[in-house]
């Protein structure tokens, strides 16, 4: 049986549930069954979804309310949605409690970090010295900066590479990680581009958008590994 993988979504105009098609397409291409999860804040629902699904994909999107990591809002804060924050926190916790696999992408990486006790750089362009295009204008499938991957990491094992080119659509990034996680990839300017949970569970977070690059063997490898992990756990 193919693994069933929940994908988080967002609310638009307080009326529609929405998410880029590339997430579900990538899960399906990698052999999984994508299941879009409605943004409903309900802990019992989150627990039941975590019981029934085999893995969780925390998707990209707007900024997390910085109240969750005890900071005041930066002026560039964008697209904050408390419903989305709360429902993704509930799901992330429920999947962590069951040690079921999590792949966290962009905002998803930030959600996983904050839910485990980490903090964020609220605005990379104004808070980090960098010339890199972390908010690129090129198309989503185009790589615009390099990342260096820790050779000892799960990510290096999955990709069989220690340096790859990635796309970049984020104005926020990891500041402090919780003790349970380790940064495993960096951009040349020091921005954290991936981290991994160090316990007995697959929970891997990437700051780039592999779902937009599945023409690229590295992105496909990452989705295949995640779906395989969901199938056998």
| 201 scored as a contact of Mn ion (CB under 5 A) | no
Count, residues near Mn ion per rule CB under 5 A: 2
Strands 33-37 and 102-105 come out as unpaired
8-state DSSP, 229: H
Choose one: 61-69, 102-110, 129-137, 196-204; the region binding Mn ion (CB under 5 A): 129-137
Catalytic residue of the set 134, 145, 170, 209: 209
Residue with tokens 């590295």: 218
Q: Tell me which stretch binds Mn ion (CB under 5 A): 18-26, 71-79, 130-138, 224-232.
A: 130-138
List the catalytic residue out of 106, 134, 170, 230: 106
**Number of Cβ within a 10 Å radius of residue 149:** 21
Binding of residue 209 to Mn ion (CB under 5 A):
no
Listed residue (44, 36, 41, 40) closest to 19, CA to CA: 36
Site string for Mn ion, 154-193 (x = CB under 5 A): --------------x-------------------------
Q: Which residues contact 213 (CB under 8 A, 6 or more apart)?
A: 140, 141, 143, 166, 167, 219
Could you list the active site residues?
Answer: 106, 209, 211
- Using CB under 5 A, list all residues that contact Mn ion: 134, 168
């Amino acid at each position: 049986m193919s693994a069933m993988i929940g994908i988080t979504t967002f609310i638009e105009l307080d009326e529609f549930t929405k998410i880029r098609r590339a997430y579900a397409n990538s899960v399906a291409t990698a052999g999984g069954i994508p299941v879009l999860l409605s943004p409903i804040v309900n802990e019992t629902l989150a627990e039941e979804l975590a019981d029934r699904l085999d893995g969780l994909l925390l998707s990209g999107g707007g900024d997390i309310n910085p109240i969750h990591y005890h900071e005041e809002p930066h002026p560039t804060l964008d697209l904050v949605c408390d419903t989305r924050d709360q429902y993704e926190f509930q799901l992330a916790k429920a999947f962590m409690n069951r040690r079921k696999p999590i792949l966290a992408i962009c905002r998803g990486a930030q959600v996983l970090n904050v839910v485990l006790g980490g903090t964020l750089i609220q605005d990379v362009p104004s808070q980090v010295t960098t010339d890199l295009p972390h908010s690129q204008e090129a198309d989503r499938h185009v790589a615009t900066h390099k990342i260096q991957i820790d050779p000892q990491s799960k990510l290096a094992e999955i990709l069989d590479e220690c340096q790859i080119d990635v796309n970049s659509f984020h104005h926020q990034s990891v500041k402090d990680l919780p003790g349970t996680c380790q940064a495993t990839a960096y951009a040349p300017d020091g921005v954290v581009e991936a981290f991994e949970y160090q316990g007995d569970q697959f929970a891997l977070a990437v700051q780039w958008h592999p779902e937009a690059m599945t023409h690229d063997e590295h992105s496909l490898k990452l989705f295949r590994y995640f779906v395989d992990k969901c199938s056998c756990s």
